[in-house]
Structure 1
Amino acid sequence: MVIHLHRLTPAKVWLGVIPTLWWNDDFINIDIGIPYEQALSEMALAGYVGCGVGHKFPTDPKILRPALELRGLRISEPWVSTYFTIKAMKRHTLDNVDAQLDFLEAMEGGSDDPRRADLVVSEFGRAVNPLPVALFPNCPDFSEDEWKYLIEGLHEAGDKARARKRRLCYHPHLGTGVMKAEAIHRLMDETEPGLVNMLLDTAHQAAAGVDPLALATKYADRIKHVHLKDIRAEVVDEIHHRELSFQQGIEAGIFTVPGDGSIQTFPEILGALAAANFAGWICVEAEQDPAKANPLQYAKMGREYLREVLGW
């Protein structure tokens, strides 16, 4: 495989980090009390230029924007959990999409900086990852009607994002109806490329038994946002063997930063994206318990790994 990593330059690829190193945004009990200001300072200290939105962040852009600018940071993405596959939630979901797009305009208005945030979404209708149940055996499979509602809803959300000159990026996620390989392929096959892009999360895909390199190769042209995250394969095996929940898996250490776990193909994954002239956010992530994994230490580890791979 020819690797074109020289094409991934700081002028077109921006390295961010997701706040789940400092606290967990799904399970708020996984927290040691780190304030958002400390997290932002440590993100900048570790060498990142952007970050996802964490639940501890101020919701008022007049407060958050100066805090980010003080540290040379940008927002890489807000998260929207969609609920298109369950009853009476389409309007609420699209209202949330509008609210997040408004938030981004307030955060970036008046700036000509090309590092614009993407809108990251994932369908959480019937998802089991928030629940205290065995993760893998209970992952939902969507019915034909649910697939219809999901595709229609994503197209409407994607149209809203495109109208605001944003990219909607779909995040296949453990414990949801778009976790398995066949579901990811169906989502890509049935959605309009101009409206629905893919977010490649290397760890969520690898933990689900999906080869992230194969996805990066097949969908390089549609991948517009990346969460670069590693897995500990022995913990994935433990989740299967002991029938653990998603939260238990996180607490057991399923995830870590790239270069510290079991995925060996990060250079090839980045090479596949480079060959497709990828431009956008690549964000280091590791949903870890900060009481067990020092956030700044792991943030620096992830950034140093990318420095070794990319050369900057």
Structure 2
Amino acid sequence: MSVRIGINPLTWTNDDLPTLGAETPLETCLSEGKQAGFSGFELGHKFPRKADVLGPILDAHGLNLVSGWCSGNLLTNSVEQEIEAIRDHLELLKALGSKVMVYCEITGCIHGQINTPLSHRPRMTEQQWEEFLGKLNAVADWCMEQGVQLAYHHHMGTVIETEAEVDRMMQGTGPSMGLLLDTGHMTFAGGNPIAVQQRYADRIVHVHCKDLRPNVLADAKNRDMSFLNAMLSGVFTVPGDGFIDYLTLFKGLKASNYSGWLVVEAEQDPAVAHPLTYATLGANNLKRFCAESGLELQA
């Protein structure tokens, strides 16, 4: 079993705060990502959403499409409405060879609101949990039938943020519902990404690798910052540049025969954190962690 390393374009240009890197063209993201040592990219807002347009662009750079974020609205949509809402996105991923869809319920989310503290994030009632899990399971089953597995992204500022909420989501859904393990978001939320990996080893289908600067994290929590202000303060960095124990995590992935993507997704201000420099550091650190843990890197 082997893994591949990819990157999200928000290293260069940010989807939640589009003014960051607004002037940076897609060509720069792709060429520098390839130069840094990555073999694939996740989607961002500057990517064309037609397979016959995006495919040749990626091919020209020798890159694969890893996956792409999908905003879920199951707390307001029916299963049928949600399937129609995500169908085009799924078809794009499938056409370009992606095996998983990054999915996150965004109803009431506040991670894109720069003046809203993270403590104000939404939480589900008991009735909402029951309805949500039933609908999520149905959508996950449908996606699996189409050949693309849902990978649920627990995310700061949303209804599924904490380790306990991830547990409830995983326990309330079936095997078609995969988990995206985001090391940075889980740690920011006070959880333990290594424990989550061990608990759901057979259902983790995608991994986002971001690290945290401990002093900035402590300050962000102490002042109850918004997600975006924490990011602008430098709370996130690339794997290996913070305090998360990636070597132990990767040894766990090796033991579970994980064979998906390892994706650097480290939100930073590109005017402060030079994108090519940090992309290269992230790629080199992922390669080192893979070598030290025994994870085989696919060429």
Report deviation, 1:221.
Answer: 1.1
- Gaps (5+ residues) in structure 2? 292-296
Q: CA deviation at 1:36?
A: 0.4
Please report how far the alpha carbon of residue 23 of structure 1 lies from its aligned counterpart in structure 2 after TM superposition.
0.9
Cα displacement (A) at 1:92 = 4.4
CA distance in 1, matches of 2:78, 2:212: 33
Aligned with 1:51 (options 26, 34, 41): 41
Mapped to 1, the partners of 2:83 and 2:117 lie a distance apart of: 28
- Structure 2: which amino acid aligns with 1:224? V
Whether 2:81 is the aligned partner of 1:84: answer: no
User: Is the 8 Å Cα contact of residues 134 and 243 (structure 1) preserved in structure 2?
Assistant: no
The answer to whether the 8 A contact 2:111-2:118 is kept is: no
- Asked whether the 8 Å contact 1:80–1:119 carries over to 2, the reply is yes
Alignment of 1:201-240 (within 5 A): 201-240=182-221
2:294 aligns to what?
none
For the residues of structure 2 that align with 1:287 and 1:130, how far apart are their CA atoms?
Answer: 13
Equivalent residues of 2:183, 2:193 under 8 A apart: yes
**Stretches (4+) displaced over 6 A:** none
Take 2:72 and 2:167, find their aligned partners in 1: how far apart are those partners? 19
The answer to whether 1:39 aligns with 2:19 is no
Distance 1:118 1:105 in 2: 9
Show structure 1 runs of 5+ residues with no match: 1-8, 109-115
CA positional deviation for 1:40: 0.6
Q: Identity rate of aligned residues, in percent?
A: 34
Give TM-score scaled by structure 2 length. 0.93
Alpha-carbon distance, 1:136 to partner: 3.1
SS for the counterpart of 1:56 is: coil
Contact 2:117 2:225 in 1 (8 A): yes
Residue 119 of structure 2 is aligned to residue 130 of structure 1: no
Is the contact made by 1:32 and 1:291 (CA closer than 8 Å) also made in structure 2?
A: no
Q: How far 1:20 sits from its partner (Å)?
A: 0.9
Report the Cα distance in structure 1 between the residues aligned to 2:130 and 2:211, rounded to whole angstroms.
Answer: 32
1:183-262 to 2 correspondences below 5 Å: 183-193=165-175, 195-262=176-243
1:134, distance to aligned residue in structure 2 (A): 4.1
Instruction: Kindly indicate whether residue 18 of structure 2 is the aligned counterpart of residue 28 of structure 1.
Output: yes
- What is the CA–CA distance in structure 2 between the aligned matches of 1:292 and 1:275, rounded to whole Å? 37
Contact between 1:75 and 1:117, CA under 8 Å: does it hold in 2? no
1:177 aligns with 159
Equivalence for 2:284: 304
Letter in 2 for 1:223: I
Specify the alignment match of 1:144 in structure 2.
Answer: 126
Matched, 1:273 2:230: no
Maintained 8 Å contact 1:118/1:168:
yes
> Is 2:80 aligned against 1:100?
no
| Amino acid across the alignment from 1:179 | E
Q: So what's the TM-score if we normalise by structure 1?
A: 0.89
Deviations 1:226-274 (A, max 9, x none): 00110112222222222211111111111110011121x1011111111
Q: CA deviation at 1:83?
A: 1.3
